[in-house]
Amino acid sequence: MLRKIKLDYIYDLFADNKDYATQIFIPLKRRLQYLFLAMLHRMHIPSMIRSLKGNHTAMYRDPKAILDECRPALPPDLLQELSNVLHNLNPARFQGETTAAQREASRAYGNHTSISNNIEKAEQTMNKEERNKFVMALPCWLARFLPHLHFTPQGLIMKPGKKDRQIFDGAYRISPDSPCVNDFTNKLDEGELLYGSAFTRHLIRIYNLRISYPNQELLLFDDDASGAYKHVKYHPDVAGACSFMIKNILYVPLGCQFGQTVSGYRWEIIAKCRMLLAEYYQSQPCINDLVSKHAHIIDKIKFPPDVFECEGKITPATPDTINTGDFSDGMR
């Protein structure tokens, strides 16, 4: 059969998806392409992933150029951690095993009822994941022929006033003696996680800025990275152990998942680098060049005409032995 497969049919996977914006479901052709890719690589998932390159594995990034740019701003240990992330050495350590019976039990369980009761929403989410090249989508029956798979149930969090969020329930055990994917990693192998205290530290800084600038408006900005965790790519050898199935499709994720223990730790490395890099550029003469370079974006930020008319509207902050003020002049 492989002799009859035109390689150009598979090579389409590597090209940019020209119909990205209009793709409303994962086309059958795409699933067949991944099937033929699996056959070409003798059902070896790591080889499949390595052959994809491009957006699938973040090969568009230039790790050397990024590390050279960051080197003046980052301490050596953080620079090494960033190098590991950019070279797809994620997680830091991954080790575990499961029996054939446990694997079959996980496959039979499938997903939580929040998925089966809202299958259309799950399919919309996975269509977005596939068109962003965050997953490989294969026919579900192929799972019996792919070694080293571990299935993790998916769930859907629905809260009033917020967007529904699909989660990867990496802590769920099918039975007391069945391992979950989070058992294969250890937080002690990862670096420090600062995210949990970020909001408290943000409020403390606002309070200290109010001490230092009692009569000026404090302008707060919020930034967000779309699909943040997904940009931290798995090492190809472990991706299959993070698989899941929805309806009749087997998904092999290529980047860290929301609900996996180590995902936050791996993204934290990038977040800390962004923070230190912003502080570094703020103190460098090249900041003016950067402002000019990105003026077409910065100039789109508009403020209401009365934004600085705040006399009599500000609640003062009182300094104490712990909070003495912040005179960083607005530097991140």
Check if the beta carbon of residue 24 is closer than 8 Å to that of residue 127.
Answer: yes
Assigned token pair, 86: 């950019």
Structure tokens at 233: 């790519």
Judged by DSSP in three states, 167 sits in strand
Task: Tell me, rounded to whole angstroms, the distance of Cα 93 from its chain centroid.
Answer: 18
Residue 52 CB: number of other CB atoms within 10 A? 20
Q: How confident is the model at residue 103 (pLDDT cuts 50, 70, 90)?
A: very high
Q: What is the mean pLDDT of residues 289-311?
A: 79
Closest CA to 134 of 61, 60, 57: 57
Return the structure tokens found at 272. 């800390």
Q: Which of 66-70, 112-116, 244-248, 326-330 has the lowest mean pLDDT?
A: 326-330
What confidence score (pLDDT) does residue 215 get? 81
127, 146, 143: which is closest to 135 by C-alpha? 127
Q: Is pLDDT at 246 greater than 90 in this prediction? A: yes
**Confidence tier at 308 by pLDDT (50, 70, 90):** low
What whole-number percentage of the chain has pLDDT above 90? 63
Q: Check pLDDT > 50 for residue 332.
A: no
Find tokens 């998806």 and name the residue: 17
- pLDDT over 60 (residue 3): no
Report the candidate in 107, 104, 71 with the shortest Cα–Cα distance to residue 86.
71
Q: What angle do CA 148, 149, 154 make, to 5 degrees?
A: 160
pTM: 0.88
Look up residue 299 and give its amino acid. D
Closest to 250 (Cα-Cα) out of 321, 155, 154, 316: 154
| pLDDT tens sequence across 320-329 | 999 998 877 6
For residue 91, say if its preceding peptide bond is cis, omega within 30 degrees of 0.
yes
Check residue 211 and give its pLDDT: 93
CA distances from 185 to 121, 190, 225, 237 (A): 30, 9, 25, 14
Rounded to whole angstroms, the Cα distance separating 150 from 106 reads 8
Strands 165-168 and 135-139, by their bridges, are: unpaired
Q: If you average pLDDT over residues 277-295, what whole number do you get? A: 85
CA separation for the pair 81, 76 (Å, rounded): 9
Query: Which one, of 243, 241, 266, lies nearest residue 253 by Cα?
Result: 243
Q: State the pLDDT at residue 196.
A: 84
Q: Write the pLDDT tens digit of every residue in 175-196.
A: 999 999 999 999 999 988 888 8
7 CB contacts (<8 Å, ≥6 apart)?
none
Local structure of residue 39 (DSSP, 8 states): H
What tens digit of pLDDT does each residue of 117-171 get?
Answer: 999 999 999 999 999 999 999 999 999 999 999 999 999 999 998 889 999 999 9
Band (19; pLDDT cuts 50, 70, 90): confident
180 Cβ neighbours under 8 A, 6+ residues apart: 152, 170, 171, 172, 173
CA-based nearest residue to 101, from 35, 208, 178 = 178
Q: Say if CB 92 and CB 262 are below 8 A apart.
A: yes
Q: Which helix (H) or strand (E) holds 266?
A: helix 263-282
Average pLDDT over residues 85-96: 92
Is the pLDDT at 310 greater than 80, yes or no? no
What pLDDT shows up at residue 311? 60
pLDDT for 304 beyond 80: no
Span 47-80, pLDDT tens digits: 999 999 888 999 889 999 999 999 999 999 999 9
pLDDT of residue 50: 93
pLDDT band at 20 (very low <50, low <70, confident <90, very high): confident
Consecutive H or E run containing 213: none
Boundaries of every domain in the chain: 2-191+227-292
The two three-digit tokens of residue 228, written as one number: 């943040």
For the record, the structure tokens of 267 come out as 């993204």
Mean pLDDT along residues 311-319: 79
Least confident among 206-210, 218-222, 272-276: 218-222
